[in-house]
């Protein structure tokens, strides 16, 4: 259902442009890569049926050589990724701010390709780990590809790209034993944090619920860096980019996230894939924060510091468009794995700032693709090709697809009338913003970058009580895994500068004393930072419906119809696969057994039961209910299902029961919309 959406550019689509590369193998004769039809693919060529394989078996060598090289080096970071195609549509023209064509014309839809990823883990790691998430968007514009390469957290650990290898070496599994995988809960990471205190703000985000998103569809995205928008007249504004999920920003709880890693390590990609296949297309609104150049120094933070955000109360986010992901990839390797992103892939009207982390990324990304994708022609791979033509004097190299005609491959020349020739600004040529530069060559950090704690404290001040408790628990877990008492003590001392309340909370858990001192004097907060204030919608939530034979067919059907009417997905759970029959003609096809449909894989439970269920059924249902309750999820029950709630001892906020099906359905939908019920008292 989701695979028939195409975004038109110049009368054709990105998909149509790639059509020449798509191959359907079904029903075709087997050939070599040169097109030679193969008569035998079961046995290698031998000298006799028990003799040695002959070197002249070109088919064997081609087949085996290709297999030997099927895996390209995985990304050093962001290795575990999943992606989808879509389109971007502009709400309001930004011509006042930028000459970028795709940000001016509200009648056009720009094709996009988005890759989501975890940062720390290898390609085979699980997906609901505590980690930052990559949010990289490739816009296939008529002026060339524009890559907005960001994260789901608006700040970063370090201020200068020269420290990036140090950060990643500390974060990755420790080299002496290659553990732990996809986790920051170990000595070298926290040793780095304690001795590189510019990381304080990012660590607060990483220890918050933002680091364990419920879904890639319910996750904010940020450009992280400060960029520039430049108008046709040459006037520049500093800009930060935001992706705001239409469904709101929601998270897992830590115990749930850990269990999902075991139950379904593909949880996030499965959710994205199935949502698109079901036609529940993920949507994100593009927002921009703009600061006039003359206002650059009017804030209590440096606008170029990548460890700082721009509080939305001080610099409002202007929503300018919407991105819809409406088509899954046809082949994960050819598209998701071979996709090459680069923050230096810009179009006229988008430029850079002097953020030292961004400046280093402008080198690093190209350098990385050279080794990962086998040479300088990675831009010619179908997923990376622009939708507009490209012409230059670059030639040859590994993986060259273009067949350049003619004798000239240099500039300046007369044999080809000095073409391809540079284009003027009026002809669409890219011109760099002319910023006046003065200063000595130094290896130094600006004094304005040296405040490491005030925004970390602002983040803490902005959290709701449950969010603060989760942050304390996250620090307690992470530091509880650290073996070095010295590192533990250093981290406690460091975060006492952020909040003594926070430091005391996790210091007690790891048996470390908090140093003497005063509470931070920073009182600033921002409502935009707390997920308590996010959009709450029931649409696309997944409800597990536990049923047995003899259920009240007509009444259950009424509830399921009401849930589906709100866009809520329902899946039937029972003790075995097959059909469950109601007390009338109603039949429900079972989607999961108690073994394959764990409660952690659902946002909510609706417990129906039946008339003749045995003790094992009852025990399994009670376990489901207790676990969902412990994760603060909404739970509904009717008829025979109510006694299982009573048996599990669950009640209170977010627990819905009743005999009036219309009212019950309404209350359950309201409870599902809330996502979690934090005021519930655990039994």
Q: What is the torsion angle, in degrees rounded to the nearest 10, for the CA atoms of residue 344, residue 131, residue 126 and residue 577?
A: -110
β-pair type (542-547, 604-609): parallel
Q: Supply 512's token pair.
A: 């470390």
Q: Supply 141's token pair.
A: 């514009």
- Where do the H-state alpha helices sit in 373-464? 454-462
For the beta carbon of residue 605, count every other beta carbon within 10 angstroms: 25
CB 121 within 8 A of CB 131: yes
- Which 8-state DSSP code applies to residue 106? T
Alpha carbons within 13 A on the beta-carbon side of 21:
16
- Which 8-state DSSP code applies to residue 48? S
CB 321 within 8 A of CB 91: yes
Task: In whole angstroms, give the CA distance from residue 495 to residue 400.
Answer: 52
Q: What Cα–Cα distance (Å) separates residue 536 from each residue in 163, 274, 670? A: 39, 21, 10
Q: Supply 597's token pair.
A: 């449909």
Catalytic residue among 78, 237, 250, 675: 78
99 three-class SS: coil
Task: In whole angstroms, give the CA distance from residue 381 to residue 368.
Answer: 16
Task: In whole angstroms, give the CA distance from residue 235 to residue 71.
Answer: 46
Helix or strand run (H / E) with residue 137: strand 133-141
For the beta carbon of residue 252, count every other beta carbon within 10 angstroms: 22
152 is catalytic: no
Helix or strand run (H / E) with residue 496: helix 485-496
Task: In whole angstroms, give the CA distance from residue 628 to residue 644.
Answer: 13
Across-strand partners of 244?
A: 285
Cis bond before residue 503 (omega within 30° of 0)? no
376 three-class SS: coil
User: What phi and psi, each to the nearest 5 degrees, are found at residue 159?
Assistant: -105, -15
Of 274, 357, 407, 332, nearest in space to 74 by CA = 332
Task: In whole angstroms, give the CA distance from residue 426 to residue 430.
Answer: 10
Q: Supply 158's token pair.
A: 């370090």
The alpha carbons of the chain give a radius of gyration, in whole angstroms, of 28
Handedness of CA 246, 252, 253, 254 (dihedral sign): negative
Catalytic residue among 85, 145, 151, 196: 151
CB 494 within 8 A of CB 200: yes
Across-strand partners of 228?
A: 238, 351
User: What phi and psi, each to the nearest 5 degrees, are found at residue 679?
Assistant: -85, 5
Spatial neighbors of 616 by CB under 8 A, at least 6 apart, are 575
- Which 8-state DSSP code applies to residue 37? B
CB 129 within 8 A of CB 171: no
Of 599, 661, 610, 601, nearest in space to 635 by CA = 599
401 is catalytic: no
Helix or strand run (H / E) with residue 95: none
Positions marked catalytic: 78, 151
């Amino acid at each position: 259902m989701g695979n028939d959406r195409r975004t038109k550019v110049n009368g054709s689509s990105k998909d149509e442009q790639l059509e020449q590369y798509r191959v359907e193998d079904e029903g075709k004769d087997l050939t070599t890569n040169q097109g030679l039809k193969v008569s035998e693919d079961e046995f290698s060529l031998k000298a006799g049926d028990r003799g040695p394989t002959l070197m002249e078996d070109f088919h064997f060598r081609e087949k085996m050589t290709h297999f030997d090289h099927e895996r390209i080096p995985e990304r050093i970071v962001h290795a575990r990724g999943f992606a989808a195609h879509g389109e971007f549509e502009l709400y309001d023209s930004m011509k006042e701010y930028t000459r970028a064509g795709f940000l001016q014309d509200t009648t056009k839809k720009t094709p996009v390709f988005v890759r989501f990823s975890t940062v720390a883990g290898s390609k085979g790691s699980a997906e609901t780990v505590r980690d930052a998430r990559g949010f990289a968007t490739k816009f296939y514009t008529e002026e060339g590809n524009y890559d907005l390469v960001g994260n789901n957290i608006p700040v970063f650990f370090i201020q200068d790209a020269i420290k990036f290898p140090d950060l990643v070496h500390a974060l990755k599994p420790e080299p002496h034993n290659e553990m732990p995988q996809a986790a920051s809960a170990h000595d070298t990471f926290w040793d780095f944090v304690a001795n590189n205190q510019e990381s304080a703000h990012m660590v607060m985000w990483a220890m918050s619920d933002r680091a364990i998103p419920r879904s890639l569809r319910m996750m904010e995205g940020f450009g992280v860096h400060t960029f520039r928008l430049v108008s046709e007249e040459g006037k520049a504004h500093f800009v930060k980019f935001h992706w705001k999920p239409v469904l709101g920003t929601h998270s897992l709880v830590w115990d749930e996230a850990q269990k999902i890693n075991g139950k379904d390590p593909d949880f996030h990609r499965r959710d994205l894939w199935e949502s698109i296949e079901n036609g529940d297309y993920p949507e994100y609104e593009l927002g921009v924060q703009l600061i006039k150049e003359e206002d650059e120094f009017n804030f209590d933070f440096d606008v170029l510091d990548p460890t700082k955000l721009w509080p939305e109360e001080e610099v409002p986010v202007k929503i300018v468009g919407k991105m819809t992901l409406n088509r899954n990839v046809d082949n994960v390797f050819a598209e998701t794995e071979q996709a090459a992103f680069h923050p230096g892939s810009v179009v006229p009207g988008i430029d850079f700032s002097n953020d030292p982390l961004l400046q280093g990324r402008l080198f690093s990304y190209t350098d990385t693709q050279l080794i990962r994708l086998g040479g300088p022609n990675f831009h010619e791979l179908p997923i990376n090709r622009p939708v507009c033509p490209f012409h230059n004097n670059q030639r040859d190299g590994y993986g060259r697809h273009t067949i350049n005609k003619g004798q000239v491959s240099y500039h300046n020349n007369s044999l080809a009338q000095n073409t391809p020739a540079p284009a003027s600004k009026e002809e669409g040529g890219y011109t760099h913003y002319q910023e006046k530069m003065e200063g000595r060559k130094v290896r130094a950090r600006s004094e304005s970058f040296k405040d490491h704690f005030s925004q970390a404290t602002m983040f803490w001040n902005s959290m709701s009580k449950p969010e603060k408790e989760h942050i304390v628990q996250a620090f307690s877990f992470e530091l509880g895994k650290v073996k070095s008492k010295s590192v533990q003590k250093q981290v406690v001392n460091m975060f006492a500068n952020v909040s003594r309340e926070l430091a005391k909370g996790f210091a007690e858990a790891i048996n470390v004393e908090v140093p003497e001192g005063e509470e931070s004097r920073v009182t600033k907060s921002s409502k935009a930072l707390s997920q308590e204030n996010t959009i709450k919608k029931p649409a696309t939530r997944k409800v597990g419906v536990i049923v047995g034979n003899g259920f009240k067919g007509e009444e259950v059907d009424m509830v399921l119809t009401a849930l589906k009417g709100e866009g809520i997905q329902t899946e039937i759970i029972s003790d075995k696969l097959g059909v469950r029959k109601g007390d009338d003609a109603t039949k429900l096809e079972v989607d999961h057994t108690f073994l394959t449909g764990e409660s952690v894989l659902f946002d909510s439970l609706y417990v129906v039961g039946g008339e003749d269920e045995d003790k094992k059924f009852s025990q399994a249902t009670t376990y489901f209910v207790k676990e969902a309750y412990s994760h603060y999820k909404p739970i509904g029950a009717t008829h025979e299902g109510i006694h299982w709630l009573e048996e599990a001892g669950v009640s209170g906020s977010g627990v819905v029961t009743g005999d009036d099906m219309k009212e019950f359905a309404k209350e359950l939908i309201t409870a599902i919309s809330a996502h979690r019920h934090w005021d519930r008292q655990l039994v």
